[in-house]
Amino acid sequence: MKSPSCLLFNKLHTRFSEDQLRPWEKAFCERHSQKCMDCRELGDTLDLALNLLKDHAYEFEGSDDFEENVIRQWRVEKDKPTVWAYWSPSLIGAAVAAIALLAILQVLAATPQTPNYNAKGQEARRSTSHIPDFPGFPTDLNTR
């Protein structure tokens, strides 16, 4: 199993190469890598791997028509109608139709006013005009 100082070196060594360590950490790493062969190898392998990575950086600048492509796409996007511009004729048509429908409904609903039969102080009265006059029979049925 690794010693505590190897574990500490493991924790610090990834920042060792770029001077991100405090002075005591740096001194510890230097001292430890001189003493411990495994840890020195570990540091060397990391340097090797990272150098390989840096050596294989892409140096590709893009194709010659890069700018043209971007500008062409930009023009296409700019000229493309927006959602509002695309739907506005339909929306305006729908709004006009809705207003017209409401107006028609208003006109149809405005019928002549019906008389109010429940006016206060009045009551329904039965017609007695068709009843013949009999002696002793009350002519006014409503007063019974």
Partner 1 sequence: MVEARVLSQSSPETAAEELRWLSRCREGDESALAALISRHRRRLVYVAANVLRDRHEAEDVAQEAFLKAFRELHKLRDDRAFASFLYRICVRLCLDRLRSRRAEPAEFDRVQPCDGPHVESRVLIEKLLDTMTPDLRTTLVLREMEQLSYEEVAELMRVPVGTVRSRLHTARDRFRKLYLDATSEAR
Task: Catalog residues that contact partner 1 under the rule CB under 8 A.
Answer: 10-11, 14-15, 42, 45-46, 48-50, 52-63, 66-67, 69-71, 73-75, 77-78
Least distance to partner 1 from the beta carbon of 17, Å? 9
Nearer to partner 1, 59 or 123 (CB): 59
Nearer to partner 1, 49 or 96 (CB): 49
> Is the separation of the CB atoms in 39 and 32 below 8 Å?
yes
Burial of 75 (0-12, 13-18, 19+ CB in 10 A): exposed
Nearer to partner 1, 70 or 98 (CB): 70
d(CA 29, CA 21): 9
d(CA 44, CA 28): 16
Least distance to partner 1 from the beta carbon of 58, Å? 4
Least distance to partner 1 from the beta carbon of 68, Å? 9
d(CA 42, CA 133): 133
> Which residue is it, tokens 């500490």?
8
Least distance to partner 1 from the beta carbon of 11, Å? 8
